[in-house]
Amino acid sequence: MNPARPSTAAVWVSALRPKTLGASLCPVLMGGALAYHDGALKDTLQWQLVGSAFAGACLLQIASNFANDLFDGLRGTDSGERLGPARAVGCKLVTPRAMVFALCITLVFAGFPAWFLAHHSGVVFAIIGVCGAIAAVGYTAPPFTLAYRGLGDLFVFVFFGPIAVAGTRAACDGAWTISALVCGLAPGAIAVCLLATNNLRDRVGDLSNDKRTLVARFGQRFGRTQIIVCHVLACIVPMFAVIMLQLPPTIMLASFIAFMFAPASITIARGRDGVALNKNLAMFGALLYVYGATFALAIWTGQSMSGGAK
């Protein structure tokens, strides 16, 4: 007996991949918090710029998810035999034409926050927006097919890490700071944990469809090590920022949060595989949300204890 077809709304919500959208929220929360710490988050306009940074990052991530669904579905990578959630195009729940339309609409909407940021904070944000859109679609779309060439991890680390954190911070007053770039290593690393776990789970199907992710290229041992190293990096970045960059000691709460999610990496190191890795994906997705919120709250608490923002 075939399982019941999900509702149209459920299909599209799944295509958004909401559990992964913390990859957009986390670095923006951190960048906004650093702007507050530096005294650059002063009025309504700055808050609007931070909000625009989140809207732009979120829409580009959704665009990437739609493009991934579309092009992986067309290539047969997302077949009904995959171990993860059913994908809309691959499982014929949405037509390719409908997904193309959704992708185009999402990119159009992403242009509005990019324009707002460029208008108020400089043309560099228009350049970032265009590059982000190209990378989001080119993640799986030809001719770039970054994911199929093993470049997806680098794209995710850079765009959801240092660029997102430092870019949000710079949107407020134009300053690209070392502290924001360094702190950006943490969300980038957690986002890579999420991606590498996904690639570890799907490595057999990826190989059969010539999707040469890093895990597919170098094997599951490499993927498991990559996840552990990135998780450790997320743990130590706040401590380094406190010691070397004089950020408030309270941000080490983010290190504590990352440590509390250690089972996500430990179970992978011990060999968890297949569909069981969906639990780890959920944990890393949750870590992105909680890490960003904790870092922002810690900055605010630290500033309050020391007498307010600079």
Q: What is the pLDDT of residues 153-164, one digit of tens each?
A: 999 999 999 999
pLDDT at 120: 95
Say if CB 62 and CB 188 are below 8 A apart: no
pLDDT at 207: 87
Cα-to-chain-centroid distance, residue 95: 26
pTM for the predicted model, two decimal places: 0.94
Taken in order 285, 85, 213, 100, the sign of the CA dihedral is negative
The burial class, CB within 10 Å (0-12 / 13-18 / 19+), for 229 is: middle
pLDDT at 91: 87
Given a cut of 80, whether residue 291 has pLDDT beyond it is: yes
- Average pLDDT of the chain is 93
What are the boundaries of each domain within the chain? 20-301
pLDDT at 310: 54
pLDDT at 205: 86
Across residues 188-202, what is the average pLDDT?
A: 96
Across residues 173-192, what is the average pLDDT?
A: 97
Given a cut of 80, whether residue 303 has pLDDT beyond it is: no
Burial 126-164 (b: 16+ CB within 10 A, else e): bebbeebbebbbbbbbeebbbbbebbbbebbbebbbbbb
Weakest mean pLDDT among 138-142, 185-189, 234-238: 138-142
